[in-house]
Amino acid sequence: MGHSQFLVLGFLYLVLCSCFSYSLADQDKDKITVLPGQPTNVDFNQYSGYVTVNQQTGRALFYWLIESPASRKPESRPLILWLNGAAEEIGPFRIRPDGKTLYLNPYSWNKLANLLFLESPAGVGFSYTNTTSDLYTAGDGRTAEDAYTFLVNWFERFPQYKHTDFYIAGESYAGHYVPQLSQIVYERNKGIANPEINFKGFMVGNAVTDDYHDYVGTFEYWWTHGLISDSTYRSLRIACESGSSEHPSLDCMTALKSAEMEQGNIDPYSIFTRPCNGTASLRRNLRGHYPWMSRAYDPCTERYSEVYFNHPEVQKALHANVTGISYPWRTCRYFFGYSFQRAGHEVPLHRPRQAFILFRSFLENKPMPS
């Protein structure tokens, strides 16, 4: 090899090295040293922080990466993007009723894959925009484009995940976001031999699909579980079914109100357990009475999250809310008029073992065990 070639190579090496270490430095800044109240036996790495998705308006999305434990070889495991931020459902940490301390979830999905939680769109959780009008002009299209921009930039910060098997998953309203983002990734990967975002598949649970089917499914569920009367069921179907959930007709609102009254004070996501009413006795009564439920199931989980993630020292440890967002952190609560107050706890929280097995089968591309 000639002298000059050697120099050129050396120079290239230096340039490549400095780019690489530049992104690794950004990555290091995002590394979580310790979360307030976390247990001592945490054997996995975590990173969190912001990725700017629009410079002009100042939109930045917040992520939290929870890797697999070192003993499970994180570098050999896939990466899962989880859209909707409910890290306490499938992630390794559960929050205690004190809203301050954490304990480990034995069925955490990070035993199987590296988990990348994304709070999306801007305005959800710690994700924000510096242009308030962004919050009113948001829509599914921009949400998907922002999430795609997030991914492209995130992979630059975490180049070790380029070409890793990559999946997109989520629940509830992610029934929209997950397939829409999947489609963009799929389209932009087309014709690329070895894509950096090595997209393998997507998964949604309890998906919001479209108003008509979501209404029919919900009303049938209420009626067949004896939560509403025959006449309210008929009114709901007549008044709501062909309308939009965002702008329900007056008749539909009346029927929804009757349904709400007839259901009484229940947890619509877990009708066989007591709702969260904030009393300590509630949790004691619950334990052991519902053998098909996880013993860990606690209907007040969302409340603990709201307390925990609003602690300034927790936000500091997570590198979150660095710009002083003007409103507090909340669990996602959204849409469907007022009859769905929450889109909170879902299958992974109620039946964590079954959900874990489902996820393992999904990654192995095998049917669920019978």
249 binds ligand NAG (CB under 6 A): no
Task: Compute the CA torsion angle 241, 121, 345, 246 (nearest 10 deg).
Answer: -20
The least CB distance from residue 279 to ligand NAG, in Å, is 5
Task: For ligand NAG, give the closer residue by CB, 273 or 321.
Answer: 321
Part of the chain binding ligand NAG (CB under 6 A), chosen from 7-15, 78-86, 139-147, 274-282: 274-282
Task: For ligand NAG, give the closer residue by CB, 264 or 291.
Answer: 264
- Those residues whose C-beta lies under 8 Å from the C-beta of residue 354, and which sit 6 or more positions away, are 347
Task: For ligand NAG, give the closer residue by CB, 229 or 310.
Answer: 310
Q: How many residues bind ligand NAG (CB under 6 A)?
A: 19
| Helix%, strand%, coil% for the chain, nearest 5 | 45, 15, 45
The DSSP-derived string for 339-358 is T-------HHHHSHHHHHHH
Q: Would you say 351 and 259 are in contact if contact means Cβ atoms under 8 Å apart?
A: no
Q: What residue type is assigned to position 197 of the chain? A: I
The least CB distance from residue 128 to ligand NAG, in Å, is 7
Give the 3-state secondary structure of residue 140.
helix
The least CB distance from residue 49 to ligand NAG, in Å, is 12
Task: Compute the CA torsion angle 274, 305, 150, 45 (nearest 10 deg).
Answer: -110
Task: Compute the CA torsion angle 94, 315, 343, 369 (nearest 10 deg).
Answer: -40
Burial class (CB in 10 A: 0-12, 13-18, 19+), 253: middle
The least CB distance from residue 270 to ligand NAG, in Å, is 15
Task: For ligand NAG, give the closer residue by CB, 53 or 116.
Answer: 53
Selection from 48, 59, 115, 111 nearest residue 83 by Cα:
115
Of 126, 166, 215, 356, the residue at the interface with ligand NAG (CB under 6 A) is 126
Selection from 74, 73, 70, 109 nearest residue 92 by Cα:
109
State which residue has the least CB distance to ligand NAG: 58
Of 21, 160, 231, 279, the residue at the interface with ligand NAG (CB under 6 A) is 279
The least CB distance from residue 70 to ligand NAG, in Å, is 31
The least CB distance from residue 328 to ligand NAG, in Å, is 4
Supply the angle between the helices 3-30 and 140-157 in degrees, to the nearest 10. 120
What would the x/- binding string for ligand NAG be over residues 44 to 63, using CB under 6 A?
--------x-----x-x---
264 binds ligand NAG (CB under 6 A): no
Q: What residue type is assigned to position 88 of the chain? A: E
323 binds ligand NAG (CB under 6 A): yes
Part of the chain binding ligand NAG (CB under 6 A), chosen from 79-87, 254-262, 326-334, 361-369: 326-334
Q: Give the binding site for ligand NAG (CB under 6 A).
A: 52, 58, 60, 126, 130, 274, 277, 279, 281-282, 310, 315, 321, 323-325, 327-329
